[in-house]
Amino acid sequence: MKTISEPTRRRLVLLANLLSRSKQERITSVKIQEMTGFSRDLIRKDISLLDFKGGVSNGYDSKELLAAICSGLGLSFGEKGEARFCCIVGLGKLGAAIMQCGMFDKTPFKIKAGFDSRVNRTEVLSADFPLYPAAKMETVIPGENIEFAILAVEDEQAQLMADRLVRSGIRGMVNLTGESLSVGDEVVVENISPVLALENILAKI
């Protein structure tokens, strides 16, 4: 398979998400354009980078296309496929809410641990998985095969905890704090701070 560029990869991830929720049996590049705003030519080009020649003159079979994207990108949807283990770092209001709101329930992502440097948080809160003091990160994360982290600590602690996550062998983290994190090249960071998002909106309008 050809290498897939960053913009193409992000579009395909979005498309996979869309397909996983769609009830339509078939879909065309024109319909995808309507739903996503990406041009239909671009969509066909993106799809052509996968090893997938399923398209016919009346479009794609949604399930087949989804499967092709998943196999091309190493994704899976809807609990099937291998579970990927995650942890939540920072159990303040936001971290606790993410932990408890069940947003990963129908995904292959499974939370295996929560961490906080404040003992009273790990003792007061309860979850379907164990909560640990932050001091346990370096042992629990490799021990439980945790690959990804959700970082929801206070801004002041963000880089410190990111460093510990990296040392613990994490492969990627979702950064909900307002800080920009410095991590090594092998660790992937996705910045999804709501404040940063609002700033990006404000700068655009």
Partner DNA sequence: TAGATTGTTAATCGATTAACAATC
Query: Interface with its own copies by CB under 8 A: which residues?
Result: 9-10, 12-14, 16-18, 21, 34-36, 73-75, 84, 86, 92-94, 96-98, 100-101, 103-104, 107, 109, 148, 150, 155, 171-174, 176, 178-180, 182, 188, 190-205
Residue 66 binds DNA, judged by CB under 7 A = no
Beta pairing partners, 86: 111, 148
Does position 5 bind DNA by CB under 7 A?
A: yes
The answer to whether the CB of 109 falls within 8 A of the CB of 101 is no
Which of these ranges, 2-10, 95-103, 122-130, 169-177, lies near DNA under the rule CB under 7 A? Answer: 2-10
Angle at CA of residue 182, ends 94 and 93, nearest 5° = 5
Q: Could you tell which of DNA, its own copies, none binds residue 60, using a CB distance below 5 to 8 A set by kind?
A: DNA
Asked if residue 4 lies in contact with residue 49, where contact means CB atoms within 8 angstroms, the answer is: yes
In the list 24, 35, 45, 79, the residue contacting DNA (rule: CB under 7 A) is: 45
> Between 138 and 147, whose beta carbon lies closer to its own copies?
147
Q: How far apart are the first and last CA of the chain?
A: 39
Tell me if 122 sits within 8 A of 133, measured CB to CB: yes
